[in-house]
Amino acid sequence: MLEFLAAALIGLGTVFFVAGTVGLLRFPDIFCRLHALTKADGLGLALIALGVALLADGAGEVFRIALIWFFVAVAGATCGHLIASYARRVKAEADDD
Amino acid sequence: MTDPVLVFDLLLAAAVVALAVASLSVRDLFMAIVLFITFGLLSALAWVRLSAPDVALAEAAIGTGVTGALLLKTLHHLRYVTGTLDRDPPPSVTPATPVPAPVIWANAAFCGLITLGLAAAFLGAPQAGPGFDPLVAEALPASGVEHPVTAVLLNFRAYDTLMEGVVLLAAVIAVWQIERGLSDAPAPALGEIFDGFARLTLPAIVVVGTYLLWKGAEAPGGAFQGGAVLAAVGLLLLLSRLYVPQPAHRGVARWAFVLGTGVFAGVALLVAGGGRVAFEYPAEHAKTLILLIEALVTISIAVTLAALFHGREPVALPSSGGKKDA
């Protein structure tokens, strides 16, 4: 039962990754693409981490998976912010010229 | 019905080769670096599939993380000196004069020689059989550590590991000599969010790096992996400008560069004598000595990689009139 639940969660997480990838390939500009990527992989990774945590044997492993999820999510959000602010700044400078 | 894992492995192998080709053939340098980083991450995954988690950790931390950061920093510097920083779209940095044909041919010849050497080693190795596993397993109790890879790297083949430290040392000496007097590209302002990110992750990276070092005695991990992770602390400090290299810090930095290699070589020579040769640690102190060497080598690797990322030696430039804020 636990395995099925875990597989379902991991599968659902993968769907979010695929959706994010499609968004990255199909959306028109950098901000839309970033939106698709950061939202999709943040939620996708959370679901996959949850699924893997169900299969982990022990509190230590669950804790490490939670830490990995937390830091990847924070790093992803920060990178998204950095790329978006850089793109905005460069665009503003290009408009000034 | 084929094995799904085999399909995954074949796809992974094809992707690694395709990314390598793409990274070499694409003209835009930024794209080449991004492809190289992706290549490194998939290579790390390939090492995991080959049941070599130590190599995977090293590939992910050094081959991908630190090298990627070094390449991006170099590109930033290139765009600065060519005056193409902050342009949209960033024009690809292509050399004004094409690379001379003899250089291309010399590079091709050396790469070809290395490929031939690898092919000869692969074909010359016994294709079946246990390899060195039984030998290592037999000698493991005498090594002082429980993880076979650490036993090989820090004990049985310690000389190779010492030389890897020397290579890093040589690299940082060369960089400090060559980049002397070059003006520095201004560090990009990364903003409050990045500073918050740095403050949040710095303590965690210190813990992870130390954990990798400590864990190396009994499980995958060790000096190079821990050192590369700790080097990320230096990168974050430099990028968020929480630490600005000063000319007065050069003495400490120089000591930190040679600390690991120096102590490693010193211990290796000092244990010689009384019927032992160099690198032959006395069995009762082997674990202590290995941990001491690994800890100091880790510090040296971390400081050296961070210094390589910073690039030039922090000297006071006459033109900028005093201390340099990099």
B150-170 per-position pLDDT tens digit: 777 777 778 888 888 899 899
The mean-pLDDT minimum among B69-73, B154-158, B193-197, B233-237 falls in B154-158
Nearest to A31 by CA among A73, A75, A87: A87
| CA B34/CA B87 separation, integer angstroms | 19
- What letter represents residue A3's amino acid? E
Cβ–Cβ below 8 Å for A90 and B200: no
Quick one: A28 exposed, middle or buried, by C-beta within 10 A (0-12, 13-18, 19+)?
exposed
**Chain A environment of B204 (Cβ under 8 Å):** 67, 71
Would you call A82 and B201 a contact, using CB atoms and an 8 Å cutoff?
Answer: no
Which residue of A lies nearest to B85 if distances are taken between CA atoms?
A: A90
| Nearest CB neighbour to B197, from listed A78, A90, A94 | A78
**Residues B17-66: tens digit of each pLDDT:** 999 999 988 888 889 999 999 999 999 999 999 888 888 988 888 889 89
Q: Give Cα B128 to chain centroid, integer Å.
A: 32
H helices of B216-285, in order, are 223-239, 250-270
Residue B273, SS3 per DSSP: strand
Cβ neighbours of B200 in A, within 8 Å: 74
Please state the length of chain A.
Answer: 97
Is B90's pLDDT higher than 70? Answer: no
- pLDDT, position B183: 60
**Rounded-to-integer distance, Cα B79 and Cα B212, Å:** 36
pLDDT higher than 80, residue B92: no
Mean pLDDT throughout B175-200? 75
Mean pLDDT score of chain B: 82
Do the Cβ atoms of B201 and A71 come within 8 Å? yes
Predicted local confidence at residue B185, as pLDDT: 67
Do the Cβ atoms of B314 and B172 come closer than 8 Å? no
CA distances from A57 to A54, A61, A64 (A): 8, 7, 12
Is residue B85 within 8 Å of residue B185, measured between CB atoms? yes
Mean pLDDT confidence for A25-52:
86
Q: Left, alpha or beta for B191 (phi > 0: left; psi -120 to 50: alpha)?
A: left
Mean pLDDT calculated for residue range B227-238: 87
8 Å CB contact of B201 and A85: no
Cross-chain Cβ contact B193/A89 below 8 Å: no
